[in-house]
Amino acid sequence: MQSINEIKEILSRCSIDALPAQLKQWEGDSRKGVQNVLTSFRKKYERHLQELARLEEILTYERSCWAAGYALVAGIDEVGRGPLAGPVVAAAVILPQECKIEGVNDSKKLSAKKREELYDVILEKAVSYGIGIVSNERIDEINILQATYEAMREALSQLSPHAEYILADAVTIPRISTPQRGIIKGDAKSMSIGAASIVAKVYRDRLMETYDAAYPGYGFGANKGYGSAEHIAAIQELGLTPIHRRSFVKNLRPQEGDTTTDKGGRGETLAAKQMQKMGYEILERNFHALRGEIDIIARRRKLIIFAEVKKRRTIEKAAYAISARQKERIRRGAETFIARHPQYAGFQFRFDAVLIRFPFSVRHLENVW
């Protein structure tokens, strides 16, 4: 007699179409554990049938186009109309006729992991696809609606072969001669539009993750440029980056300037956030003593860091900006801090520099003097 784990392993390896026949083999097994396993896999098969029915339904618009003689039907959708930062991205996808990709749906209804999985499957199966990107500067210039249309036209122009008919999510794209139809909530009603929504979403999310590394402190990797509380607080504290949409953040700017180059305390804030990401605990900022001062004092395990922050147009200029006089001032400030905090007497001490090039390149140099 096979064990419950063996039965579970066999069913796990079984193809979904062969699952009903496999389940029948153990229907007469009275063991409760076996029946629980069978119930679980029956539910899995029921979900599969429900998904097949949904896929049949979301091919309705494509089939009407194919029946009318349009063999190459493109779905198109955009991502990024609402964020405060980053571009708007559109994707156009032509799938083979009767192509059914399980899981394709409105990208907002899917987890990030599922979108990533489907992204590769969609691009592999697609007859053709295109991705249009319109920058934040262009959005400010022509407004977000026109920028969205521009991104869509760019995505469509990349298709090879070109689309014979276009299914778009909710809009009618101007200045397009190809026949088209706008479908309200089309990303959930059309296989092609749903696929396009996933491609656009994954592409833009990956782009924002690269911006998160380039402009630390704003949380772009998590918020993708949308107006989260963390993002808004960062704008007010650090200022704007080159990827922010000026027309979207008029009421959020802390002062008149467009960048943080002339805002004294914001460089220290950016440096502190970067150090926290590296595992440091910030003990003091702008520590003042009679004989000296220190921008940031931080701790990691049994190590105390005294850090000087320098903000310049280039990293090289920032590095040369720390003078011998400033080093002496920091050393005196460190002596005062240690005297005031005897609990750190047994710790190691180090003098670091955090160099900031605007816009927002951060370099942490250890043990610089």
Residue-wise DSSP of 234-247: HHHHH---TTB-TT
Mean pLDDT of the chain: 90
pLDDT of residue 315: 64
Q: What is the C-alpha separation between 87 and 242, in angstroms, rounded? A: 11
List, for residues 157-214, the tens digit of each pLDDT value: 999 999 999 999 999 999 999 999 999 999 999 999 999 999 999 999 999 999 998 8
Provide φ and ψ at 21, rounded to 5°: -65, -40
List, for residues 275-315, the tens digit of each pLDDT value: 888 899 999 998 887 777 899 999 999 999 999 988 776 66
CA nearest to 287, candidates 337, 248, 232, 250: 337
Q: What is the C-alpha separation between 23 and 303, in angstroms, rounded? A: 61
- Structural domain spans, the chain: 4-56, 61-210, 264-365
| Element housing 229 (H / E) | helix 229-238
Q: Which of 24-33, 203-212, 346-355, 359-368 shows the lowest per-residue confidence on average (mean pLDDT)?
A: 359-368
pLDDT of residue 265: 66
pLDDT of residue 254: 53
Altogether, the residues listed in the chain come to a count of: 369
Q: Which residue has the higher pLDDT, 204 or 274?
A: 204
pLDDT category at 360 given cuts 50, 70, 90 is low
Note if the bond before 161 is cis, omega within 30 degrees.
yes
For a pLDDT cut of 70, what percent of the chain falls above it?
Answer: 92
Helix, strand, or coil (residue 45): helix
List, for residues 76-117, the tens digit of each pLDDT value: 999 999 999 999 999 999 999 999 999 999 899 999 999 999
- Pick one of 3.30.420.10, 3.30.70.580, 1.10.10.410, 1.10.10.10 as the CATH number of 61-210: 3.30.420.10
- DSSP string across 64-105: HHHHTT---EEEEEEE-SS-SBS-EEEEEEEPPTT---TT--
* pTM, to two decimals: 0.68
Does domain 264-365 match CATH 3.40.1350.10?
yes
pLDDT of residue 311: 78
Say if residue 73's pLDDT is above 70. yes
pLDDT category at 74 given cuts 50, 70, 90 is very high
Sheet with strand 281-289: strands edge to edge: 281-289, 292-300, 303-312, 348-357, 361-365
Q: What is the C-alpha separation between 33 and 11, in angstroms, rounded? A: 14
What's 227's DSSP letter?
Answer: -
Spell out the residues 6+ positions from residue 295 whose beta carbon is closer than 8 angstroms to its own: 268, 271, 285, 286, 307, 308, 309, 354
Q: Which range, 182-191, 307-316, 333-342, 343-352, is most confident?
A: 182-191
Say if residue 264's pLDDT is above 70. no
pLDDT of residue 236: 82
* Identity of residue 151: A
* Identity of residue 58: I
